[in-house]
Structure formats: structure tokens, C-alpha cells
Chain A
Amino acid sequence: MTSRIAAAALAAALAAAAGMAGADPIDAPEIVINDGEVTLPTRAPAPDFLKDTLPEVLSGWLFRDEDTRAMEMDDFENPGMVFADQGLDAWSAVEGTEGKSCASCHNGIEDSMKGVRAHMPKMNEAGDDLWSLENFVNDCRVNRMGAEEWGWNSPEMKNMTSAISLQSRGEPVKVAIDGPAAEWWEKGKDIYYTRYGQLELGCFNCHEQYAGKMIRADHLSQGQINGFPTYRLKDAGIVSIHQRFAGCVRDTRAETFKAGSPEFRALELYVASRGAGLPVEGVSVRH
């Protein structure tokens, strides 16, 4: 703890001495959490389809300021953990007409959900739709538990996706983009490179072309989603992937797509694939 603060202070002093304005990501190979209990690589070689565009893919953590980075380095200081804990409580809470909880079928979350988040979104069992983690949760609630489905961005859903994501912390993101997922991936790619709204901005403008640059006080990252759900200081709460997508699209002065829409699920697959190899960080901290 003390050494971490000292190291951070030294890094800050060096940065100040070098006159850096935070225009580039910091040079840290990993996020060291709880004094080394968990270490998460911050960089991975770019996936094949991006090799000519980016040399490597980078965690958004590298682009955040020192205080925000420090919060993710200690689970007691990570405000997102409170919500993951609430999700853990909900895991074993019986709900619905069938008298079941998540644990009734899946047993312990630690084993049954390990690695799950790293492969999301993916095709459903019927093979006719691309599902995000939220879809799988609601499918269980409605069809196995006989419970009401949760709203995509409801506190209950975000608590649950936080708890589930935490079981994959450290697992490299690996989503299927071939077979029946291929057309979803192509659609997501189209959306990524479409310039929406009155500001005529596509995801690629900020997060590929100008990643590392500053828009006013915002340090543009690669827009990776391996840290989601994330505790976002600006929102003082957990933010889902689609919630952040909607915020970005809104900021282009565009009409957004809805959370859970086919468009955002397709975009989620494409953006997830751009971060292949980065570890699941959820629950991360951003601002």
C-alpha cells in the first residue's frame, strides 16, 4: 500500500518533470490489484483484423488519471465492488413462480460463471440471435425462474452482471466472430465506422484515429469494453456497455440506439473483438 503510493508519487513527479500533459497512455504493463493478489495485463497484441490499424490493444485504465487508476488497484477502494456484492446476494435469492434462485441451477457463482463474461456476447442456444450477458440473465429469470425480467440498465441487472463479470476477472476476452456470429460482427463493424449525428462522428474517429489525444479534459482511449460493467465516477454508479454506447452516440448529437437493441448487441460483439486478449477487468473504475 505504502509502496504503491510512493510509486505513484514518483510516477507523477516524473510525468511532471517530463512536461507531459497526459496525451499518451501511461506505460504500465499491468494493473496490480490488492498488492499483487490479482494482476491484469494492460496490453495485448492487436487481433489479426486490426494488425494494419493498431499495433496493440490497450486497457482504458492506462488513459485514466492517477486517482482513478488507484481506485481499481484496491478492491476495498473500488466503489464498484459494493454493487458486485449486491449481485452476489441476489444470486442466491429465490424469486419467481418456480421457487428458484440462480444458485438453484448454477450452484456457486465462482465456479459456474468463471470465464463466462470473456465470451460475451455470443449466439444463443437456438443459434438465431446474438445475446449479451443481460439477455442470458433475463432468459433464466423468465424461462427458468418464472420471474419478471430486469430492465437492461436497472440496478438489479447491473449488480448481477457485475457479480458475474467479477468471476472472469483476468480471463482474456475471446468472442466468436465466425459462423452465425459473422453477420452480427459485420453489422457491428459497419456501425463502428459510420459517422452519426450532427457532429458526424463514428466510434473510429475518437477511439481509433485519435486515441491518446485530448478532447477538452477527456483523454480518448481505445474505447475497449473489457472493463465493463464499470464504476464510472461521472455517473457515480455502475455503467453497462450499452449505457456507455448510448452516451457516446448521444454526444455526437445523434439519435441513439436503445440498450439491448440489435444494433448495440452487434456493436458490442465488434468492440469486444477489438479487445481480444485483454483481460476481463470488470468491475473496473473509470471517469
Chain B
Amino acid sequence: MLRLAHLRPARAAALAALAATPVLAAEPPAPSAVQFNEGSVAQPLTGQPGSVESGKKIMSTNSLGNCVACHQVSAMPDVDFQGNVGPSLDGVAGRYDEAHLRGLVVNAKHTFEVTVMPAFYKNEGYIRPGEGYTGKAPDGPLSPILDAQQIEDVVAYLLTLK
């Protein structure tokens, strides 16, 4: 069911623990099934609350979200070379509520139609999609850039930027 082998150990362990509990965690929605309301996504994508620490790592790591490629975050002074294509995220939690932050990370084009910002929880509807950064056509369906829990982790971190 879940390809645990492909996940990072911490995530795999967390999911294994979840699977062991009697409470059934709902499958995350397919990217195309996420419900938007004027750019906002009210329903969390997973039953597990987002991790602030993990969200910070995802945002500042090249191979994950790499949000700092385009956005500046003063709360991460140790992260070099923060970009300025997008607006600073300082105080972003004061400008958007949780549902709207989730919507912006999932697919900001529901808020800003022609934004340059990629959709992080989307896996179809592209022109000449490739397999990651290989430049080659994908063998099968694409994965979204971030998985559902990673989206929740990023939202959790963004909510600390008051």
C-alpha cells in the first residue's frame, strides 16, 4: 500500500507507528481531489498535525521544497542565499490564515492565476513533464513535488511566521 522503502526513515517510522495504531488514518486525497474555496484549502491533507521542525527543513532544503530559493525568511538566518523572486515570508501568518496558507502551498494558482510559483501538491496537467530533474519523460504517473504530510509540515512552519 505505502511504499515505505521510498520514504525517509523518520517518515517511514512515523507511518509505521500510525499503521500500528487502531485508529485508521485516512488516505491523503489525490492532488486533483483537493477542495479549494477561493484559494483556500480548509481540510488538512492528513490526520497527523504538521511538524514545525520538519517544515523548516523542507523549506530550506534544495531537494525538498526549497522555498527559500524564491522567498526570504528572516527566521532562518543560517540559510544562505535566500532568493527574492517571491515576497518575503516574514509575517506571512498574519496575512493569511491556515486554510489559505495550505491552499497557497498546494497550488498558488488558485489564488494568483499567473503566479510563477509552482504547485507543490499537483501531479498532472503539465506540458512535457519530466521525471524529476532528469530531463527525461516519466515512466509512470508523477508524484507531487511534496507529499501530503510534507505540505502539512510546511503549513505548520509558516504558521509560526507571525
Contact = CB atoms under 8 A, between A and B. Distances in A.
B116 A213 contact: no
A194 interface: yes
B46 interface: no
Interface residues of B, number: 30
Nearest to A209: B116
Nearest to A205: B116
A198 B134 contact: no
Interface string B125-151: 011111011111110001001000000
Range class of the A interface residue count: 20 to 34
Given A23-B84, A213-B85, A217-B80, A250 B135 contact: yes
B134 A250 contact: yes
A253 B129 CA distance: 6
A210 interface: yes
A198 B70 contact: no
Most buried by A among B80, B84, B123, B137: B84
A210 B126 CA distance: 22
A215 B132 contact: no
A227 to B, nearest CB: 23
Given A214-B85, A215-B69, A255 B116 contact: no
A215 B122 CA distance: 22
B28 interface: no
A255 B83 contact: no
Contacts of A214: 81, 83-85
Most buried by B among A205, A217, A255: A255
A220 B83 CA distance: 11
B68 interface: yes
A256 interface: yes
A216 B130 contact: no
A6 interface: no
A98 interface: no
A219 to B, nearest CB: 10
Interface string A202-218: 00010001100111110
B130 A198 contact: yes
Given A198-B145, A216-B68, A255 B128 contact: yes
B128 A250 contact: no
Interface in A181-212: 194-201, 205, 209-210
A255 B85 contact: no
B133 A253 contact: yes
B85 A250 contact: no
A213 B84 contact: yes
A256 B135 contact: yes
Secondary structure type dominating chain A contacts: loop
B77 to A, nearest CB: 14
B89 interface: no
B111 to A, nearest CB: 15
A82 interface: no
B81 A200 contact: no
Contact of A201 (B116, B123, B138): B116
Interface string A249-285: 1111111100000000000000000000000000000
Given A198-B118, A198-B145, A200-B119, A215 B130 contact: no
Interface string B52-71: 00000000001000101110
Contacts of A194: 127
A195 to B, nearest CB: 7
A210 B127 contact: no
A200 B127 CA distance: 8
Given A215-B69, A254-B127, 20 more contacts: A194-B127, A195-B127, A197-B127, A197-B130, A198-B118, A198-B122, A198-B126, A209-B116, A210-B85, A213-B83, A216-B68, A216-B81, A217-B81, A252-B130, A254-B126, A254-B129, A255-B137, A255-B138, A256-B130, A256-B135
14 contacts: A196-B126, A197-B127, A197-B128, A198-B129, A198-B142, A199-B145, A200-B119, A213-B85, A216-B62, A216-B66, A216-B69, A217-B80, A250-B135, A256-B130
Q: Sorted from nearest, which 5 A-B pairs have the closest CB atoms?
A: A250-B135, A217-B81, A256-B135, A199-B118, A255-B137
